A and B are shown apart, each in its own frame.
Chain A
Amino acid sequence: MRNEILKMLEKNSRIELKDMAIMLDMDEVALANEIAQMEKEHIICGYHTLINWDNTTEEKVTALIEVKVTPQRGMGFDKIAERIYMFNEVNAVYLMSGGYDFTVILEGKTMKDVASFVTNKLSALESVLSTATHFVLKKYKDHGTVLEEESVDERELFMI
């Protein structure tokens, strides 16, 4: 049942508990408890809103930074990751397989903000060997949702 609950919430975290209980054929109280339990277990880690900032007046730049590091004694990848993700500007940190170690996704107001973070904060970390910064030009799809898409029901009324 948990997977069904999660799938539904992942698509729409604002769905009403009552509707959800009906659609999943669950008792409303049991459902509320299950969700609370999953919050406790850090399976559900938050209820964020997917915003297309490009359509607002807010200036924002997003950068994807490839980071290579050398893990040092007593300080594995997890510890280095923590040193990176503790910064507020950092949106996401992933440990990667392949050509580099971490993907860091960063949001700043301007390119200068991002540049200053990379040079002053990120590169300054002892374990960091190198960085490669890529700026996002346009977001088309995020979290499984096409941002610009407007869905129109084009089905014609049909006799069956």
Chain B
Amino acid sequence: MRDPLSERVKEIKPSGIRKFFDIVSEMPDAISLGVGEPDFETPWHIREEGIYSLEKARTHYTSNAGLKELKQEVAAYLHRRFHLNYHAQKEVLVTVGGSEAIDIAMRAMLNPGDEVLIPQPSYVAYLPCTTLTGGVPVPIELQEKNQFKLTAEELLAAITPKTKVLILPFPNTPTGSIMDREDLEKIAKVIIDHDLWVVSDEIYSELTYSGNHVSIAAIPGMAERTLVINGFSKSYAMTGWRLGYVAGPERVISQMTKIHQYCIMCAPTTSQYAAVEALRNGDEDVAHMKEVYNQRRRYLMYAMKEIGLECFEPFGAFYIFPNISRFGMTSDEFANLLLQKEQVAVVPGTAFGDCGEGFVRISYAYSLDTLKRAMERIGRFVKWLDAGRPEE
């Protein structure tokens, strides 16, 4: 029989951690610190607005690019929080999660052979989304000694005549690293000098713990060459609603809207009504969740020190990324052994790029109670490793 599959699809590696998670879900006593979504539920007033929209029988499509009032709220929000100026009806597109925005941004921008710079470790979708369009992903390996920030030198070294787009994934999963204004200004200069475009994935923008998030689009000269991707999943604990958005120059957004309308039609209507409420009245919820995350973050940093795991202090998202290289194991081996020995699941750093080797990701989207129990177990595990893994 004829092979039904496309060569490009076959090229994409399946996510390696799927198998690992299958094992975890079979272990009832396992504590998982692997989940990359908020443990909070969507605030009730937002859920209630979704329910109300159903009661009012708002069960139809919205316009392709999204509800007019939602786009207005998005533009107002981006201005209020990050000093960005977008035309609500021409420069904003409401998508099914930030993930759709990443996909259609790549499809709208890339010609076969165009190179996309992808700082790693980072979110797992940038690479396949690039490959699927015929683009060429070029990973940039971020360094722990730079707090996993992207430096202008690293960027310069990766640029070739074929480079077209830089993906900027900050605040970052899995490292928790952030880029402040000064860091971004250096990047912006290189971008402008080389006439590149930036896809800035700012989905964790509300979760920064050392001052307000700065968008690269706020740096002079950058808005006209940047797509800002954001959404409701992390900031408002709305992962299951599948709602995000992208803002950028009209000539790109209009083309992305074309793809969006052919493959998605429009983002879910109920979610869009709920999102309007989130942007109008959700600031306090965001502040509260951020405060709780920050408390857990401080607790974990303290616990890492106590346990004796080296870990740079991250100021964004809800992850820490401890360095486990001193045990002479791969991230995979470490994670598997930890699961086997103490029933704690953490994600191997290599799930987010080869340069994640030597690290594991720990999520703190878990209650303090869970974190404390897990840290006790990890502490015991590290002691056991340090003692030369004695048989019991």
A: residues with CB less than 8 A from B are: 4, 8, 19, 22-25, 153, 155, 157-160
Contacts and interface: CB of A to CB of B under 8 A. Distances in A.
Interface stretch (B15-23, B47-55, B327-335): B15-23
9 contacts: A19-B299, A25-B298, A155-B35, A157-B21, A157-B34, A158-B36, A159-B15, A159-B124, A160-B173
A7 to B, nearest CB: 8
Contacts, number: 43
A159 B18 contact: yes
Nearest to B288: A7
A20 to B, nearest CB: 9
Given A157-B24, A159-B17, A160-B173, A23 B299 contact: yes
B32 A157 contact: yes
Nearest to A24: B295
A22 B306 CA distance: 12
Contacts of B35: 155, 157-158
B124 A23 contact: no
A22 B298 contact: yes
Contacts of A24: 295, 298
Interface string B274-296: 00000000000000000100011
Contacts of B25: 157
Given A24-B298, A155-B35, 5 more contacts: A8-B295, A22-B298, A153-B39, A158-B21, A160-B124
B82 interface: no
A158 B302 CA distance: 27
A83 B26 CA distance: 62
Interface residues of B, number: 26
B208 to A, nearest CB: 16
B42 to A, nearest CB: 13
Nearest to A15: B368
B123 interface: yes
B37 A23 contact: no
B155 to A, nearest CB: 25
B298 A158 contact: no
A155 B295 contact: no
A23 B364 CA distance: 13
Contacts of B302: 22
Contacts of B18: 159
A108 B149 CA distance: 63
B169 to A, nearest CB: 12
A159 B348 CA distance: 12
A69 B25 CA distance: 62
Interface string B76-120: 000000000000000000000000000000000000000000000
A160 B123 contact: yes
B20 to A, nearest CB: 9
A19 B368 contact: yes
A155 B21 CA distance: 12
A159 B14 CA distance: 10
Contacts of A25: 298
B296 to A, nearest CB: 7
Contacts of B351: 159
A24 B15 CA distance: 37
Contacts of B21: 157-159
6 closest Cβ pairs, A-B complex? A23-B295, A157-B21, A160-B36, A159-B15, A22-B302, A155-B35
B34 A23 contact: no
Interface in B298-342: 298-299, 302
